[in-house]
Amino acid sequence: MGEEERVFNLVDIDSITYTEFEINLSVEPDEIDFGEIRIGHVQNALLTINNIGNGELIISSIDLEEGIFSIFFEDSIFIAPNQSFEFTVNFTPDDV
């Protein structure tokens, strides 16, 4: 009781097409020069991530090696193919 039989009949199907997604991105600029900044002050710069693949690019986090750089966003970012998204990178030097 409560069971259903599910049948998928391939007799009437001429072809099946699928797309293989390629995840590929580029980041601009290659390097950011924040210039001279006083210790404890914050300098911002824009970082653009371009989706150059053919599938949707999902960014759920960005990990930076040093604590003096940060990028803040709350929710995952969805970037369609051939689209881009700009992030603000914060630089807060804590030493000379």
Mean pLDDT across 26-48: 92
Question: How far apart are alpha carbons 77 and 90 in whole angstroms?
Answer: 18
Buried b (16+ CB within 10 A) or exposed e, 6-44: eeeeeeeeeeeeeeeeeeeeeeeeeeeeeeeeeeeeeee
49-92 tens-digit pLDDT? 999 999 999 999 888 877 788 898 889 999 999 999 999 999 99
Gap between the Cα atoms of 95 and 92, Å rounded:
9
